[in-house]
Amino acid sequence: MKILSINAGSSSMKFTAYEMPEEKVLISGYIERIGIEGSFYTIKINGEKIKKEIKVVDHKQAFEIIVNELINYKIVETLDEIKAMGHRVVQGGSYFDKSVIVNEDVLKKIEELSPLAPLHNPAAITGIKAAQEVFPNALQVVVFDTSFHQTMKEDKYLYALPYEWKEKYNIRKYGAHGTSHQYVSIRANELLKKQNTKLITCHLGSGASISAVVNGKCIDTSMGLTPNAGLIMGTRCGDIDSTIIPYLMRKGKTIEEIETTMNKQSGFIGISGKYSDARDIMQGCLENDPRAILARDMFVNRVVDYIAKYYFEMNGCDAIIFTAGIGENSFYFREQILNRLSIIGIHLDKEKNEKCIGEEAIISTKNSQIPCYVIPTNEEVMIARDAYNLL
Ligand code: ADP
């Protein structure tokens, strides 16, 4: 059975077509700059990558491109062969603790939650509506980044603000990257050959978060009400003293300026003054750029803080997992982090770590008390699995 997994951003759309339940990738693609000058897309099929330039005016047209390519590459003969589509939605609030089939009520709730994910939720709705038009016979399913974190208990997800604010304004921790944390924890349990485990999963990309996962369930995570909490990221500040905001407002900054700066001009770029990309930070460090070194050290400090916090919160840990752009590819950052954790019995295998770029591997030594793994994430297959199961 053929299933399409969709990840729609405000101006981009990633898709992967699977044969399920085998989870065989038939084709995948990435359409960029939707509705913007210079749009193009890339297709990956049979190990080949093909780039095509074409004007893409909206999400509906993006789906039409997907249809054309599915037929062009003979993935399907007719559209009816796509039995279900799974869409990634960033914010599901407290409404959704698992993936669901799309209906009017579900769309209304995703819309209602848009203020908590203003860039992402509206884009997902546009994507789903366009998919309904172009694929009228496929079951539409939504998979939320927040669902996996809904198992957190109140003492972990509440902020120490007036209790009524949770009821009145929905203020609490929701977390993010849930599909990724869930995927790598399932895979880690397979590698550890047991289900009852305590894991620390580190999703380190340009957005970054860490979760504590006990027996496959999230008990705590570093992101909060929004994805700008916890770790220091490419352009986001993560945890700060909340009083900085009213202080800056009294100094004459507008709320929009502060919000934009905290989301787009902070983190690596804010501290280094030059680089938001971890590769550039690393290069800057190798060239002894003091601000790049400062950005690296602040990032590493924060990651180590969260790992230490979750180690105590779970009363131990069976494995630490690294995933996403930095976690999967940067032996440099992994080494910086793990070298700081020898106090809890972690020993990095320097050679294995340096060899591991973008593939699954164990990167700790045999005598390390906690094994450390790199597990490439696969949010797309999780989306396809949920769509398949709901169908
Ligand atoms: P997102 O999906 O949040 O945009 P990614 O998971 O793609 O982010 O991660 C992007 C980050 O991964 C960037 O900071 C980038 O520098 C880093 N990254 C990607 N490849 C490498 C690499 N080979 N070495 C170091 N960092 C890398």
The number of angstroms, rounded, from the C-alpha of 325 to the middle of its chain's C-alpha atoms is: 10
Reply yes or no on whether the pLDDT at 8 is more than 90.
no
Rounded Cα distance between 105 and 96, Å, is 12
Average pLDDT value for residue range 1-12 = 90
Helices 331-338 and 290-313, axial angle in degrees (round to 10): 60
Looking at 114-193, list the stretches that DSSP marks H as alpha helix, in order from N- to C-terminal side.
Answer: 121-134, 154-157, 164-169, 178-192
Ligand 1 lined by 326 (C-beta under 6 Å) = yes
Residue pLDDT, tens place only, 292-330: 999 999 999 999 999 999 999 999 999 999 999 999 999
Residue pLDDT, tens place only, 381-391: 999 999 999 99
Extract the tokens encoding 367: 């005598």
Residue pLDDT, tens place only, 23-44: 999 999 999 999 988 999 999 9
* pTM (global) more than 0.85: yes
Hey, whose CA ends up nearest to atom 23 of ligand 1? 329
Fold of the domain built from segment(s) 2-144: Nucleotidyltransferase; domain 5 (3.30.420)
**Count of other CB atoms within 10 angstroms of residue 30:** 17
Residues 6+ apart with CB under 8 A from 181: 148, 149, 201, 203, 209, 211, 213, 218, 221
Ligand 1 lined by 277 (C-beta under 6 Å) = yes
Residue of 263, 279, 282, 299 with the most ligand 1 atoms within 8 Å of its CB, for mutation? 279
Residue pLDDT, tens place only, 314-371: 999 999 999 999 999 999 999 999 999 999 999 999 999 999 999 999 999 999 999 9
Ligand 1 centre distance from Cα of residue 322 (Å): 12
Rounded Cα distance between 317 and 309, Å, is 11
Q: What is the CATH number of domain 192-374?
A: 3.30.420.40
Quick one: which H or E segment has residue 248?
Answer: helix 244-250
Instruction: Please choose, from the candidates 145, 205, 228, 190, the residue with its C-alpha nearest in 3D space to the C-alpha of residue 319.
Output: 190
145 is catalytic: yes
Sheet containing 82-89: give its strands across: 48-53, 40-45, 24-32, 13-19, 2-8, 82-89, 139-144, 100-101
Average pLDDT value for residue range 251-258 = 97
Domain assignments of the chain as residue spans, ordered by start: 2-144, 192-374
